[in-house]
Amino acid sequence: MPKAIVLEKYCKSCSLCVEICPMKIMAISEKTNEKGYFVATCVDQEKCTGCTLCATVCPDVAIEVYK
């Protein structure tokens, strides 16, 4: 099953993945990383299509996608 994994230490909470996701399953969580950013997360992996758009726009190369 496809999934998008956020490499939390790289995330800067910019929300570009949230905005681009066609399934609207990326969100900024309430969890912070070591830099203090609220990290993005996939809230509904079931719906992930593995389209890689989130990873494509992520300016911090913080998302890996499996399909």
Q: Is 67 in the site for other proteins (CB under 8 A)?
A: yes
Among 6, 26, 48, 65, binds other proteins (CB under 8 A): 65
Nearer to other proteins by Cβ, of 1 and 30: the residue is 1
Burial group, residue 51, by CB count within 10 angstroms (0-12, 13-18, 19+): middle
Q: Is 64 in the site for other proteins (CB under 8 A)?
A: yes
Q: Which residues pair with 42 in a beta bridge?
A: 26
Beta carbon of residue 43, minimum distance to other proteins (angstroms, whole number): 18
Beta carbon of residue 65, minimum distance to other proteins (angstroms, whole number): 4
- In the chain, what's the furthest Cα-to-Cα distance? 31
